Amino acid sequence: MFRNRTVSLVIPAYNEEETIRQVVEEFRQEPHLDEIVVVDNNCKDRTAEFAAAAGARVIAEQRPGYGSALMAGMDAAKSDILVLVEADGSFRARDVVKLLVYLDDAGMVMGTRTTRQMVEQGANMRFLLRWGNVFMAKFLQVCWMRPSEPRFTDVGCTFRALTSATYRKIRHRLRQTGPAFSPEMMCAALQERCRIIEVPVTYSQRMGGESKHSDTFLRQAKTAWKMFKTICRKRFLERGAPLPAATETPSSAR
């Protein structure tokens, strides 16, 4: 609990048996978390078993994709505050309190991995990936310069916190099932006039496995293109109610 508000941690997982136990055990030591929800997104390994053994509440989501898993986890979470994090061990539990503190002043708090001093050796944040995230974040920032005047440096950081009230406000605007879900959340919050604050977080080397979205230049380019299209759609095409939900094939959702 944090300042009389309960806190849920949501972890989307797709074949993360190498890391999920360590991640859950680390975050269980964070005193402000009331529950940890791991979303089994069609895992073919022992991710769900290991997560449950480490003390997480495991739910299943059959719709493939990072966005689908996160929405299922947030829908199932029981707390006043939702914290989202990856299952690969690249983020540290000690940074949870950074996000929670700023929720006193905002509806959503984003982590950023582009502060060079916070990127540890071996982390998957090479020059092109880092500056690609900065460029896309600045594009999003310019799109909403009026009336919101946000300040962003990272659209791909999945370590973030939001109030359950904010999630309820933006839920009907979320339709992306893949990695573009990350900037879509930011755009949806701005559409609903929610305040967003960004804070630096530690970004570490993965404990195991490989990224589904940024391990090669081709995947980085595809992810960037999806994010660009999503930002443009949210800013220039959705003036009122969101567009009808789009469908993605399983291969394009990850």
**Strands annotated E in the chain:** 7-13, 35-40, 57-60, 81-84, 108-112, 160-163, 196-200
**What beta strand segments (E) does 95-254 contain?**
108-112, 160-163, 196-200
Nearest CA to 34 among 76, 80, 74? 80
pLDDT band of 252, cuts 50, 70, 90: very low
Nearest to 125 by CA among 70, 134, 95: 134
User: In sequence order, which residues have a C-beta less than 8 Å from that of residue 193 and are 6 or more positions away?
Assistant: 148
User: With 80 as the cut, is the pLDDT of residue 214 above it?
Assistant: no
The answer to whether the beta carbons of residues 19 and 49 sit under 8 Å apart is: no
What amino acid is encoded at 238 in this protein?
E
More confident residue, 126 or 177: 177
Q: Which residue has the higher pLDDT, 8 or 135?
A: 8
Query: Per the structure block, which two tokens stand in for 199?
Result: 């804070």
The mean pLDDT value of the chain amounts to 86
Q: Which residue has the higher pLDDT, 7 or 246?
A: 7
3-state secondary structure of 232: helix
Check pLDDT > 90 for residue 194.
yes
Tens of pLDDT, residues 99-156:
999 999 999 999 998 777 767 555 656 666 777 778 888 999 998 887 778 889 998 8
| Domain made up of 7-238: CATH architecture | Alpha-Beta Complex (3.90)
User: Strand locations in 122-193, DSSP E?
Assistant: 160-163
At 247 the pLDDT is 41
How, if at all, do strands 7-13 and 81-84 pair?
A: parallel
Residue 156 pLDDT: 85
Residue 35 pLDDT grade (very low, low, confident, very high; cuts 50, 70, 90) = very high
pLDDT over 70 at 39, yes or no: yes
Rounded-to-integer distance, Cα 64 and Cα 75, Å: 16
**Which residue in this structure is represented by tokens 């609990």?**
1
For residues 226-244, give the mean pLDDT. Answer: 78
